[in-house]
A and B are shown apart, each in its own frame.
Chain A
Amino acid sequence: MSGRHAAIAGLGLTEVGKVYGRTAADFADEAVRLAVTDAGLKLRDVDGLLINAGKSPGLDLGLAKRLGLRDLTLLSQVQSFGASAGIMVAQAATAVLSGAATTVVCVFADAPLRENARSGDAYLSSSLAATGFRSAETAGGFTSVNHRYAVAAARYMAHYGVTDDHLGAVAVGQRQWAAHNPAAQFRKPLTLEDYHRSRWVVEPLHLFDCCLVSNGGAAVVVTTAERAAALPRPPVHVWGWGQAHPGYVMERGSDFGLVTGAAASGAAAMKMAGITPSDVDVREIYDCYTYTVLVTLEDYGFCAKGEAGELAASGALAPGGALPTNTGGGQLSGFYLWGMTPLVEAVQQVRGQAGEGRQVPRHDVALVSGNGGVLDHHATLVLGAGHAS
């Protein structure tokens, strides 16, 4: 992408995990304030706010009033589930480059965890409330999103000969990264044996194939690269972005489970940025499940279709590997703030501020993915430490 750029100038991350007694709006409020302060700005400098609400109620446009924001020129809610963070940043970048706004905050927050309740319960209610055609599937045992992803993973694994050792290598490698992330919920070392001993959630998905559930919030401040250069934090340039919403037709011939929206959104984002996969230093891949890491890496072109499992098993994605991936532990071991999880880590990496044991030596270009629904929505961002060539 040539010409003017947008840049991420501020990052805010609240305490995440089993943090009780606070609402999603409470977390969002704090995340916005943290991000604006991190950018060296005041709330009065903000003229755009994009909000992605999670599963819990109460986070909406009222956040602007709660924060005391006035005279906004951009205010909206975005909802493409796990793809929302990338889409918000893309919309914010478009706004600042067009002059529609100068300083846009993008925020996600959620508080689905309840004290003394199982984490898995946080995401059950929408399936169980189904009526009509979908309720027949629920009555037939498809009671959670885990079942639908398990089917996608099972198809992918059977088609390409991917094994649970391959999936386990993703979980183990990301836990190694998480050990160096003070914000990560799971930092205790995980072995492949631990992985195999963990219970089945829905076979072929073990417990450690599935992401965490977290309470918390995260926000970024997007402005022009010129303005970001005058602010205290190293600017993280937004080189490219793309979206894809495959709209799988669930009938004979469908690619469901085999090819995701990463193929189209990644190609679009990398074309805009003027890069290829070989230019990427660090990959922050949406990992609601280990399976999505593998299929997304393939769809982005980091390896041929069906080869990502062997790539993970070789250690390439883990600390010290050739293709550092999900360097904060991702959503499997770090924390689950939808598309903000990979974005937060990418910003820290490109800034060179991820910390000892986690910061990758080459960190000029980061690829960030977001995946929403059951492979229904995909967003990609290409972030760079400087202006794109």
Chain B
Amino acid sequence: MTAHIIARRDAASAAWFDGLTEGLLLIRRCDACGHHCRPDAEACTACESRDLRWAETMGTARVVAAVSTPGEAGTATIQALVELAEGPWMHAPVLGASSAPPPGTALVLTILRPDHGEPFPAFTVPA
């Protein structure tokens, strides 16, 4: 993570950031067919319905692919494309890992609350 880069809400994401503030990672659930979509979806990716509503996630995920970004003095941060238990994919940091975890690694949600900017989702590898 880069300390001076902050998450900023806009009109489309306001409810999602409100959810994170309350400790919830929200995604979109289709009223017509029940499919779960990414938070930025405007129509259902399964049936094209626009009747989407916010839904809470379980807060668990698995690694699709993870990478490692070198930092100062030999440190590194881990970022991953993760698959939420409900199906949508997200790009998010992985905390507490010294190297990129392999595909399929189980993850649990942690919401980061920096001093500046909006909260944002991260994941950890359970002990």
> B79, A151: Cβ atoms under 8 Å?
yes
Are A132 and B69 in contact, with the CB atoms below 8 A?
no
Contact A257 to B7, CB < 8 A, known contacts A133-B39, A141-B93: no
Q: Which residues of B contact A271 (CB under 8 A)?
A: none
Q: Assess the B87–A251 pair: CB atoms within 8 A.
A: yes
Contact A136 B120 (CB under 8 A): yes
| B81 and A151 form a contact (CB under 8 A) | yes
Can you pick out 23 interface pairs between chain A and chain B where the beta carbons lie within 8 Å of each other?
Answer: A132-B8, A133-B12, A133-B39, A135-B8, A136-B17, A136-B92, A138-B5, A139-B1, A139-B117, A139-B120, A140-B91, A140-B120, A141-B2, A142-B79, A142-B91, A151-B67, A199-B70, A200-B68, A200-B70, A202-B67, A203-B67, A251-B83, A252-B89
The answer on a CB contact under 8 Å between A147 and B5 is: no
Given contacts A133-B13, A142-B79, 15 further A-B contacts (CB under 8 A): A133-B12, A139-B6, A139-B114, A141-B2, A141-B77, A142-B91, A147-B67, A147-B79, A151-B64, A151-B65, A151-B79, A155-B103, A203-B67, A203-B69, A251-B83
Do A251 and B67 contact each other (CB < 8 Å), given the known contacts A132-B12, A147-B79?
A: no
1/0 contact trace for A111-148 toward B, CB 8 Å? Answer: 00000000000000000101111011111111100011
Q: Give the nearest-CB partner of A148 in chain B.
A: B91
Contacts of A136 in B (CB 8 A): 7, 13, 17, 92, 118, 120-121
**Does A250 sit within 8 A of B, measured CB to CB?**
yes
Min Cβ gap A169→B in Å is 21
Q: How large is the interface on B (under 10, 10 to 19, 20 to 34, 35 or more residues)?
A: 35 or more
B66 within 8 A of partner (CB): yes
What's the A-B contact tally at a CB cutoff of 8 Å?
127
A127 to B54 Cα, complex, angstroms: 26
A304 at the interface (CB under 8 A from B): no
A254 interface hit (Cβ, 8 Å): yes
Chain B residue at minimum C-beta to C-beta distance from A254: B89
Do B64 and A155 have beta carbons less than 8 Å apart?
A: yes
Chain A residues in 8 Å Cβ range of B13: 131-133, 136
Secondary structure type dominating chain A contacts: mixed
Interfacial residues, chain A to chain B (CB-CB below 8 A): 128, 130-133, 135-143, 147-148, 150-152, 154-155, 158-159, 199-200, 202-205, 249-252, 254, 256-257
Shortest 7 CB-CB distances between A and B: which pairs?
A155-B65, A136-B120, A132-B10, A132-B13, A154-B65, A203-B68, A250-B89
Interface hits, B38-85 → A, CB 8 Å: 38-40, 45, 64-70, 76-77, 79-81, 83
Q: List residues of chain B with CB within 8 A of the CB of A128.
A: 5
